[in-house]
Amino acid sequence: MKLLIGPKGKKFLLDDEKTELHTQYGVVKLDGAKPGDMLLSHTGREFSVMEPRIMDFSEKLPRASSIVLRKDLGHIIANTGAGAGDVIVDAGTGSATSAMFLANVVGPKGEVHTYEIREEHAQIAGGNIKKAGFDKIIKIHMKDIREGIDQKDVDIVNLDMPDPWEVVPHALKALKPGGFFVAYVPYVEQTQKTVQALSEKFKSIRTVEVMEREMEVKDIGTRPRTRMQGHTAYLVFARKY
């Protein structure tokens, strides 16, 4: 895949065999275009060519449902220590945004097993994973994770689902000593049920929320942006040991 960024930061994700891109800013010929090139549309507008990075895929690929934002994905990665070679279990798959961000850090020696029960989500996710080149790392399991986790010696169990507490006993079995459980839940009641389920068997249980605030640094002056995201979800972390 190639990424083109045109006027106003508009992104276009293209298959390598594509030879022409039609946009509201004119037609761009792609023959032989490679990263670092600056192409002009037939109306003279500029398009930069580059290799897409993970966030370009998550921005441009089709969505099955609302996705976990980067502020939360980053917090999950840093607080579970997700990294090269990790085996991660993930549910539900949705558009595979979380699975792909995780695959991007576990790399070719790692594995991401993502569980999904809705066929149409799995379809979209499968297409996205293939386009983003993660099909060797991510495996979609058409299974209700509340009925069990098939993997062993798992480093992280990452859950974005309404009732993550149902998965706690399975996660306990699947995780390595020192491995992490994470649940992404919008409601306080969900944090309570999850913490309750974890409290017997897991340690270092911690519920946090992450707020991202943008600063506008402009010639006219510097100030926080007027509007911000007030809430996405709470993150419940726990460790097995």
Please give the residues from 99 up to 128 whose contact with a copy of itself meets the rule CB under 8 A: 101, 104-110
- Asked if 3 touches a copy of itself (CB under 8 A), the answer is yes
Site string for a copy of itself, 16-35 (x = CB under 8 A): -------------------x
Helix (H), strand (E), coil (C) string for 132-177: CCCCCCEEEEECCHHHCCCCCCEEEEEECCCCHHHHHHHHHHHEEE
Residue 58 or 93: the one with the smaller Cβ distance to a copy of itself is 58
By CB under 8 A, the count of residues binding a copy of itself is 81
Q: Which residues have CB under 8 Å from 213's CB, separation 6+?
A: 224, 225, 228
Euclidean distance between CA atoms 63 and 82, whole angstroms:
24
Residue 74 or 148: the one with the smaller Cβ distance to a copy of itself is 74
Positions in 137-176 near a copy of itself (CB under 8 A): 155, 176
Q: Looking at 5, 13, 39, 117, which residue binds a copy of itself (CB under 8 A)?
A: 5
Q: Looking at 28, 128, 234, 238, which residue binds a copy of itself (CB under 8 A)?
A: 234
Region from 12-20, 118-126, 140-148, 210-218 binding a copy of itself, contact rule CB under 8 A: 210-218
Site string for a copy of itself, 66-85 (x = CB under 8 A): ----xx-xxxxxxxxxxxxx
Positions in 39-68 near a copy of itself (CB under 8 A): 48-56
At closest approach, how far in Å is the CB of 185 from a copy of itself?
Answer: 9
At closest approach, how far in Å is the CB of 58 from a copy of itself?
Answer: 9
Residue 68 or 125: the one with the smaller Cβ distance to a copy of itself is 68
At closest approach, how far in Å is the CB of 143 from a copy of itself?
Answer: 26
Euclidean distance between CA atoms 150 and 67, whole angstroms:
25
Euclidean distance between CA atoms 228 and 211, whole angstroms:
9
The amino acid that residue 212 corresponds to is E
Q: Which residues of 47-81 are buried (b: 16+ CB within 10 A; e: fewer)?
A: bebeebebebbbebbeebeebbbbebbebbbeebe
Site string for a copy of itself, 181-200 (x = CB under 8 A): -----xxxxxxx--x-----
Residue of 62, 66, 65, 38 whose CA lies nearest to 50: 38
Output the furthest CA–CA distance in the chain (Å, rounded).
Answer: 65
At closest approach, how far in Å is the CB of 51 from a copy of itself?
Answer: 6
**SS3 (DSSP) at 88:** strand
